[in-house]
Amino acid sequence: MSKILYMSKILITGGAGFIGSNLVDELIKRGHKVCVIDNLSTGKKEYLNSKAKFYKIDICSSAIDKIFKREKFDYVFHLAAQMDVRISVAKPELDNKINVLGAINVLRNCRDCKVKKIIFSSTGGAIYGEAKSIPTSENYPAEPISPYGIHKLTFEKYLNYYYQVYGQKYVALRLANVYGPRQYRGGEAGVASIFIDNLVNNKSSLVNGDGKQTRDYVYVDDVARALVAAMKTGYVGVINIGTAKEIDLWKIIKCIEKSTGQKFNYKNMPAKLGEQRRSSLSYNRAKKILKWRPKVYLEEGVKKTIAWSKNK
Protein backbone atom coordinates (compact mmCIF):
# COMPACT_ATOMS: atom_id res chain seq x y z
CA MET A 1 0.00 0.00 0.00
CA SER A 2 1.33 3.43 -0.96
CA LYS A 3 2.50 5.59 1.94
CA ILE A 4 0.23 8.45 0.88
CA LEU A 5 -2.75 6.26 1.59
CA TYR A 6 -1.88 6.92 5.24
CA MET A 7 -2.24 10.28 6.93
CA SER A 8 -1.03 13.27 4.91
CA LYS A 9 -1.28 17.00 5.59
CA ILE A 10 -3.48 18.39 2.83
CA LEU A 11 -4.61 21.88 1.83
CA ILE A 12 -7.79 22.47 -0.14
CA THR A 13 -8.27 25.95 -1.55
CA GLY A 14 -11.97 26.67 -2.00
CA GLY A 15 -12.70 23.92 0.50
CA ALA A 16 -15.92 25.52 1.74
CA GLY A 17 -17.41 25.39 -1.75
CA PHE A 18 -19.44 22.79 -3.60
CA ILE A 19 -16.76 20.38 -4.86
CA GLY A 20 -14.24 21.41 -2.21
CA SER A 21 -16.41 20.59 0.80
CA ASN A 22 -17.30 17.18 -0.64
CA LEU A 23 -13.59 16.52 -1.19
CA VAL A 24 -12.80 17.60 2.38
CA ASP A 25 -15.27 15.00 3.67
CA GLU A 26 -13.76 12.29 1.47
CA LEU A 27 -10.18 12.99 2.56
CA ILE A 28 -11.05 13.17 6.26
CA LYS A 29 -12.95 9.90 5.91
CA ARG A 30 -9.71 8.40 4.56
CA GLY A 31 -7.75 9.56 7.62
CA HIS A 32 -5.93 12.63 6.27
CA LYS A 33 -5.39 15.93 8.10
CA VAL A 34 -7.10 18.67 6.12
CA CYS A 35 -6.77 22.45 6.08
CA VAL A 36 -9.04 24.74 4.09
CA ILE A 37 -8.42 28.18 2.60
CA ASP A 38 -11.58 29.96 1.49
CA ASN A 39 -12.68 33.61 1.43
CA LEU A 40 -16.36 32.52 1.68
CA SER A 41 -17.33 34.69 -1.31
CA THR A 42 -19.29 31.69 -2.60
CA GLY A 43 -18.37 28.99 -0.08
CA LYS A 44 -20.39 28.29 3.04
CA LYS A 45 -18.84 27.72 6.43
CA GLU A 46 -21.64 25.34 7.39
CA TYR A 47 -20.49 22.96 4.63
CA LEU A 48 -17.09 22.57 6.31
CA ASN A 49 -16.30 19.37 8.11
CA SER A 50 -15.67 20.15 11.80
CA LYS A 51 -12.43 18.14 11.64
CA ALA A 52 -10.91 20.47 9.03
CA LYS A 53 -8.78 23.45 10.03
CA PHE A 54 -10.15 26.61 8.43
CA TYR A 55 -8.46 29.82 7.30
CA LYS A 56 -10.68 32.59 5.97
CA ILE A 57 -8.41 34.20 3.41
CA ASP A 58 -8.29 35.04 -0.31
CA ILE A 59 -5.90 33.09 -2.54
CA CYS A 60 -4.66 36.41 -3.96
CA SER A 61 -3.42 37.47 -0.51
CA SER A 62 0.31 37.40 0.26
CA ALA A 63 -0.68 36.25 3.76
CA ILE A 64 -1.13 32.67 2.51
CA ASP A 65 2.69 32.43 2.55
CA LYS A 66 2.59 32.23 6.35
CA ILE A 67 -0.03 29.47 6.25
CA PHE A 68 2.09 27.36 3.90
CA LYS A 69 5.20 27.83 6.05
CA ARG A 70 3.32 27.05 9.28
CA GLU A 71 1.37 24.00 8.12
CA LYS A 72 3.95 22.30 5.85
CA PHE A 73 1.47 20.64 3.49
CA ASP A 74 2.21 17.36 1.72
CA TYR A 75 -0.43 17.88 -0.98
CA VAL A 76 -2.48 20.80 -2.24
CA PHE A 77 -5.81 20.61 -4.06
CA HIS A 78 -6.46 23.90 -5.83
CA LEU A 79 -10.20 24.43 -6.34
CA ALA A 80 -10.68 28.11 -5.39
CA ALA A 81 -11.84 29.97 -8.50
CA GLN A 82 -14.16 32.40 -10.18
CA MET A 83 -16.40 29.65 -11.54
CA ASP A 84 -19.01 31.41 -13.68
CA VAL A 85 -18.44 31.54 -17.46
CA ARG A 86 -20.85 34.47 -17.79
CA ILE A 87 -19.03 36.53 -15.17
CA SER A 88 -15.76 35.82 -16.97
CA VAL A 89 -17.26 37.22 -20.19
CA ALA A 90 -18.53 40.34 -18.43
CA LYS A 91 -15.44 40.81 -16.21
CA PRO A 92 -12.38 39.13 -17.79
CA GLU A 93 -9.98 41.15 -15.62
CA LEU A 94 -11.59 39.78 -12.46
CA ASP A 95 -11.49 36.25 -13.81
CA ASN A 96 -7.79 36.66 -14.65
CA LYS A 97 -7.00 38.03 -11.19
CA ILE A 98 -8.54 35.05 -9.40
CA ASN A 99 -8.05 32.17 -11.84
CA VAL A 100 -4.52 33.06 -12.97
CA LEU A 101 -2.82 35.41 -10.51
CA GLY A 102 -4.42 33.88 -7.42
CA ALA A 103 -3.60 30.40 -8.68
CA ILE A 104 0.04 31.38 -9.31
CA ASN A 105 0.21 32.63 -5.73
CA VAL A 106 -0.80 29.14 -4.55
CA LEU A 107 1.59 27.43 -6.99
CA ARG A 108 4.56 29.57 -5.95
CA ASN A 109 3.99 28.58 -2.34
CA CYS A 110 3.80 24.91 -3.35
CA ARG A 111 7.25 25.23 -4.90
CA ASP A 112 8.75 27.27 -2.07
CA CYS A 113 7.41 24.95 0.64
CA LYS A 114 8.26 21.73 -1.22
CA VAL A 115 4.70 20.43 -1.59
CA LYS A 116 4.83 16.91 -3.09
CA LYS A 117 2.07 17.59 -5.62
CA ILE A 118 -0.59 20.12 -6.53
CA ILE A 119 -3.87 18.80 -7.97
CA PHE A 120 -5.72 21.43 -9.99
CA SER A 121 -9.44 21.40 -10.78
CA SER A 122 -9.46 22.65 -14.35
CA THR A 123 -12.32 22.67 -16.86
CA GLY A 124 -13.10 20.22 -19.62
CA GLY A 125 -15.73 21.67 -21.89
CA ALA A 126 -14.62 25.31 -21.60
CA ILE A 127 -11.02 24.49 -22.59
CA TYR A 128 -11.80 22.57 -25.78
CA GLY A 129 -14.21 25.15 -27.19
CA GLU A 130 -16.52 23.98 -29.98
CA ALA A 131 -14.86 20.60 -30.44
CA LYS A 132 -15.59 18.63 -33.60
CA SER A 133 -14.59 15.38 -31.91
CA ILE A 134 -17.06 14.27 -29.22
CA PRO A 135 -16.46 12.74 -26.71
CA THR A 136 -13.37 14.94 -26.67
CA SER A 137 -9.99 13.56 -25.62
CA GLU A 138 -7.10 15.39 -23.95
CA ASN A 139 -5.21 15.38 -27.28
CA TYR A 140 -7.80 17.61 -28.93
CA PRO A 141 -6.58 21.20 -29.53
CA ALA A 142 -7.47 23.56 -26.69
CA GLU A 143 -9.39 26.47 -28.21
CA PRO A 144 -11.47 28.06 -25.41
CA ILE A 145 -14.14 30.60 -26.39
CA SER A 146 -14.54 32.25 -22.97
CA PRO A 147 -12.14 34.07 -20.62
CA TYR A 148 -12.92 31.37 -18.04
CA GLY A 149 -11.60 28.64 -20.36
CA ILE A 150 -8.64 30.79 -21.43
CA HIS A 151 -7.57 31.41 -17.84
CA LYS A 152 -7.96 27.77 -16.77
CA LEU A 153 -5.77 26.78 -19.71
CA THR A 154 -3.29 29.53 -18.85
CA PHE A 155 -2.82 28.12 -15.36
CA GLU A 156 -2.35 24.62 -16.78
CA LYS A 157 0.56 26.07 -18.76
CA TYR A 158 2.00 27.58 -15.58
CA LEU A 159 1.75 24.19 -13.89
CA ASN A 160 3.72 22.61 -16.72
CA TYR A 161 6.28 25.44 -16.55
CA TYR A 162 6.80 24.94 -12.81
CA TYR A 163 7.17 21.20 -13.39
CA GLN A 164 9.68 21.57 -16.22
CA VAL A 165 11.76 24.28 -14.51
CA TYR A 166 11.35 23.55 -10.78
CA GLY A 167 10.21 19.92 -10.70
CA GLN A 168 6.90 20.79 -9.03
CA LYS A 169 4.66 17.78 -9.69
CA TYR A 170 1.02 18.30 -10.63
CA VAL A 171 -2.11 16.79 -12.11
CA ALA A 172 -4.76 18.95 -13.78
CA LEU A 173 -8.18 17.33 -13.88
CA ARG A 174 -10.31 18.77 -16.66
CA LEU A 175 -13.74 18.40 -15.10
CA ALA A 176 -16.97 18.14 -17.04
CA ASN A 177 -20.09 19.86 -15.64
CA VAL A 178 -20.15 18.79 -12.01
CA TYR A 179 -23.47 18.66 -10.16
CA GLY A 180 -24.85 17.35 -6.89
CA PRO A 181 -25.50 18.30 -3.24
CA ARG A 182 -24.13 21.65 -1.98
CA GLN A 183 -23.91 23.17 -5.43
CA TYR A 184 -24.59 26.88 -5.59
CA ARG A 185 -27.36 28.32 -7.65
CA GLY A 186 -25.75 30.42 -10.38
CA GLY A 187 -23.20 29.70 -13.06
CA GLU A 188 -23.45 27.67 -16.24
CA ALA A 189 -21.99 24.54 -14.69
CA GLY A 190 -24.73 24.54 -12.06
CA VAL A 191 -27.70 24.22 -14.40
CA ALA A 192 -28.76 20.74 -13.22
CA SER A 193 -28.78 21.81 -9.56
CA ILE A 194 -30.40 25.15 -10.42
CA PHE A 195 -33.27 23.39 -12.18
CA ILE A 196 -33.69 20.91 -9.32
CA ASP A 197 -33.64 23.55 -6.61
CA ASN A 198 -36.11 25.76 -8.48
CA LEU A 199 -38.57 22.91 -9.02
CA VAL A 200 -38.34 21.76 -5.40
CA ASN A 201 -39.08 25.35 -4.29
CA ASN A 202 -41.83 25.93 -6.89
CA LYS A 203 -39.82 28.51 -8.82
CA SER A 204 -39.57 29.03 -12.56
CA SER A 205 -36.26 28.35 -14.35
CA LEU A 206 -34.59 30.01 -17.34
CA VAL A 207 -33.79 27.99 -20.45
CA ASN A 208 -31.28 29.87 -22.59
CA GLY A 209 -31.44 29.34 -26.33
CA ASP A 210 -33.26 26.33 -27.77
CA GLY A 211 -32.30 24.02 -24.88
CA LYS A 212 -30.53 21.63 -27.25
CA GLN A 213 -27.04 22.64 -26.12
CA THR A 214 -25.31 19.63 -24.61
CA ARG A 215 -23.03 19.13 -21.64
CA ASP A 216 -21.39 16.21 -19.87
CA TYR A 217 -22.80 16.00 -16.33
CA VAL A 218 -20.63 14.24 -13.76
CA TYR A 219 -21.72 13.67 -10.16
CA VAL A 220 -19.72 15.31 -7.38
CA ASP A 221 -18.92 12.08 -5.50
CA ASP A 222 -17.33 10.69 -8.67
CA VAL A 223 -15.26 13.87 -8.98
CA ALA A 224 -14.08 13.58 -5.36
CA ARG A 225 -12.93 10.02 -6.07
CA ALA A 226 -11.02 11.21 -9.14
CA LEU A 227 -9.30 13.97 -7.18
CA VAL A 228 -8.15 11.51 -4.52
CA ALA A 229 -6.91 9.12 -7.22
CA ALA A 230 -4.94 11.99 -8.80
CA MET A 231 -3.12 12.49 -5.51
CA LYS A 232 -1.93 8.87 -5.59
CA THR A 233 -0.77 8.60 -9.22
CA GLY A 234 2.76 9.24 -10.41
CA TYR A 235 1.41 10.71 -13.64
CA VAL A 236 2.07 14.39 -14.42
CA GLY A 237 -0.23 16.19 -16.87
CA VAL A 238 -3.91 16.66 -17.72
CA ILE A 239 -6.75 14.15 -17.38
CA ASN A 240 -10.42 14.48 -18.36
CA ILE A 241 -13.07 13.62 -15.79
CA GLY A 242 -16.48 13.13 -17.37
CA THR A 243 -19.00 10.51 -18.43
CA ALA A 244 -18.54 10.59 -22.25
CA LYS A 245 -22.28 11.25 -22.54
CA GLU A 246 -23.90 14.29 -24.19
CA ILE A 247 -27.00 15.50 -22.37
CA ASP A 248 -29.14 18.45 -23.42
CA LEU A 249 -31.32 20.62 -21.19
CA TRP A 250 -34.55 18.92 -22.20
CA LYS A 251 -33.22 15.53 -21.08
CA ILE A 252 -32.29 17.01 -17.68
CA ILE A 253 -35.75 18.54 -17.39
CA LYS A 254 -37.43 15.24 -18.30
CA CYS A 255 -35.28 13.40 -15.74
CA ILE A 256 -36.15 15.90 -12.99
CA GLU A 257 -39.87 15.74 -13.80
CA LYS A 258 -39.79 11.94 -13.69
CA SER A 259 -37.97 11.89 -10.34
CA THR A 260 -40.20 14.51 -8.66
CA GLY A 261 -43.53 13.83 -10.36
CA GLN A 262 -43.83 17.59 -10.85
CA LYS A 263 -44.21 19.72 -13.97
CA PHE A 264 -41.18 21.86 -14.83
CA ASN A 265 -41.92 25.56 -15.28
CA TYR A 266 -39.54 27.68 -17.33
CA LYS A 267 -39.05 30.88 -19.30
CA ASN A 268 -37.20 30.85 -22.57
CA MET A 269 -34.31 33.32 -22.92
CA PRO A 270 -31.79 34.15 -25.67
CA ALA A 271 -28.57 32.12 -25.83
CA LYS A 272 -25.69 33.56 -23.78
CA LEU A 273 -22.38 34.84 -25.15
CA GLY A 274 -19.37 32.59 -24.52
CA GLU A 275 -21.41 29.40 -24.11
CA GLN A 276 -20.62 26.35 -26.20
CA ARG A 277 -23.09 24.37 -28.23
CA ARG A 278 -21.82 20.87 -27.46
CA SER A 279 -19.54 19.29 -24.88
CA SER A 280 -18.70 15.76 -23.74
CA LEU A 281 -15.42 14.35 -22.43
CA SER A 282 -13.70 11.05 -23.04
CA TYR A 283 -12.52 9.45 -19.80
CA ASN A 284 -10.24 6.84 -21.38
CA ARG A 285 -7.10 8.40 -19.90
CA ALA A 286 -8.69 8.53 -16.42
CA LYS A 287 -9.67 4.89 -16.78
CA LYS A 288 -6.11 3.90 -17.71
CA ILE A 289 -4.11 6.11 -15.33
CA LEU A 290 -6.42 6.63 -12.35
CA LYS A 291 -8.38 3.38 -12.64
CA TRP A 292 -11.41 5.67 -12.54
CA ARG A 293 -14.77 5.61 -14.24
CA PRO A 294 -18.06 7.34 -13.39
CA LYS A 295 -20.32 5.30 -11.13
CA VAL A 296 -23.29 7.66 -10.67
CA TYR A 297 -25.21 8.44 -13.83
CA LEU A 298 -27.80 11.14 -14.38
CA GLU A 299 -30.96 9.45 -13.09
CA GLU A 300 -29.38 8.42 -9.78
CA GLY A 301 -27.46 11.69 -9.41
CA VAL A 302 -30.61 13.75 -9.97
CA LYS A 303 -32.46 11.74 -7.31
CA LYS A 304 -29.63 12.28 -4.80
CA THR A 305 -29.56 16.02 -5.55
CA ILE A 306 -33.35 16.30 -5.22
CA ALA A 307 -33.18 14.58 -1.83
CA TRP A 308 -30.55 17.06 -0.65
CA SER A 309 -32.50 20.08 -1.98
CA LYS A 310 -35.62 18.94 -0.13
CA ASN A 311 -33.79 18.47 3.18
CA LYS A 312 -31.30 21.35 3.24
Coil, strand or helix: which one is 155? helix
Residues taking part in catalysis: 148
Alpha helices in 206-297 (DSSP H): 220-232, 249-260, 284-289
Which conformational region is residue 129 in: left (phi greater than 0), alpha (psi within -120 to 50 degrees), or beta?
left
Strand partners, 196: none
**Rounded distance, CA 305 to CA 294, Å?**
16
How far is Cα 108 from Cα 311, in angstroms, rounded to an integer? 41
Look up residue 17 and give its DSSP letter: S
Taking the C-alpha atoms of residue 102 and residue 99, their distance in angstroms, rounded to an integer, is 6
Sequence letter at residue 34? V
Please say whether the beta carbons of 73 and 11 come within 8 A.
yes
